[in-house]
Amino acid sequence: MILAAGYGTRLRPLTDTVPKPLLPIAGQPLLVWQLRLLREHGVTDVMINLHHLGHLIEQAIGDGSPWGLRVHYSYEPEILGTGGGIKQAEAFFGSEPFVVLNGDILCNLALTPLLSWHRMRGALATMVLREDPNVWAWGAVEAHDDGRIVTIAGRGVTDPPRPEQQCKPYMFAGIHVMDARLLRHCPRGQYSSILDAYVAELKRGSLIAGYLMTGYWQDIGTPERYAQAQRDVQRGLLTGCHMLREST
């Protein structure tokens, strides 16, 4: 699922007439970069949630066939947030783990090893993490050195780590793999954050894993970062970039 319903407020006036996922990067909408990434790693069916200028996204992407995909849409008359938006599309996912991407990130994360690692760990969900010098400004996700997440933006497990464990803060990269059971914490038809569901499961003792990535990643959330992403693609930083480093 690609989360594409937001207003892109910080990118106005660009997003007054173009939804953020359709902003062009090297001549291709950001959303197309994401669809190609998904298809490269064997994804065949994609759900996209829509609200702000959603009709333009559907017009541009259609049924997804140009990229070898079957694209489906979930319309939100009122924005439901990351939790409510995923909850509304719950029937689409079935019983298999599924990938969720924020619609405003550009990267070339190797999804196939990520999915394999998620299954191997048996986690309820896996959050893709990255190191960042401004990690606390993003709302840090703290994880043990074995990959087990303990807090998200200061909320979660209250027991301190054992002496043999180390805990380190990371930035959430806006990519996750999750089991549909996580959605039991999201009220249907109401606004909610998926991070609240994560925190609820942490407090229950469920395994929420962190998967550490390195390499190119950019959030297209501000004019400055959007311009930087375009420069990075022109410099060739996105292609041929090895994004994977597994948590131990």
CATH number, domain of 69, equals: 3.90.550.10
**Is 197 inside any structural domain?**
yes
**Is 241 inside any structural domain?**
no
Q: Which pTM was predicted?
A: 0.88
**Is 243 inside any structural domain?**
no
When the pLDDT of each residue in the chain is averaged and rounded to a whole number, the result is 87
As a whole number of angstroms, the distance between CA 161 and CA 79 comes to 38
pLDDT digits (tens, 9 = 90+) for 200-226: 999 888 999 999 987 789 999 899 999
Both tokens of 52, joined, read 């702000």
Q: How many domains does the chain have?
A: 1
Q: ∠ CA(12), CA(84), CA(119), 5° rounding?
A: 105
**Is 186 inside any structural domain?**
yes
**Is 248 inside any structural domain?**
no
Structural domain containing residue 117 = 2-234
pLDDT, greater one: 112 or 215: 112
As a whole number of angstroms, the distance between CA 98 and CA 47 comes to 11
Average of per-residue pLDDT across 38-57: 93
Give residue 248's pLDDT band: very low, low, confident or very high (50, 70, 90): very low
- Give the pLDDT of residue 234: 87
**Is 244 inside any structural domain?**
no
pLDDT digits (tens, 9 = 90+) for 66-93: 999 999 999 999 999 999 999 999 999 9
CA distances from 193 to 9, 86, 197, 238 (A): 18, 10, 7, 29
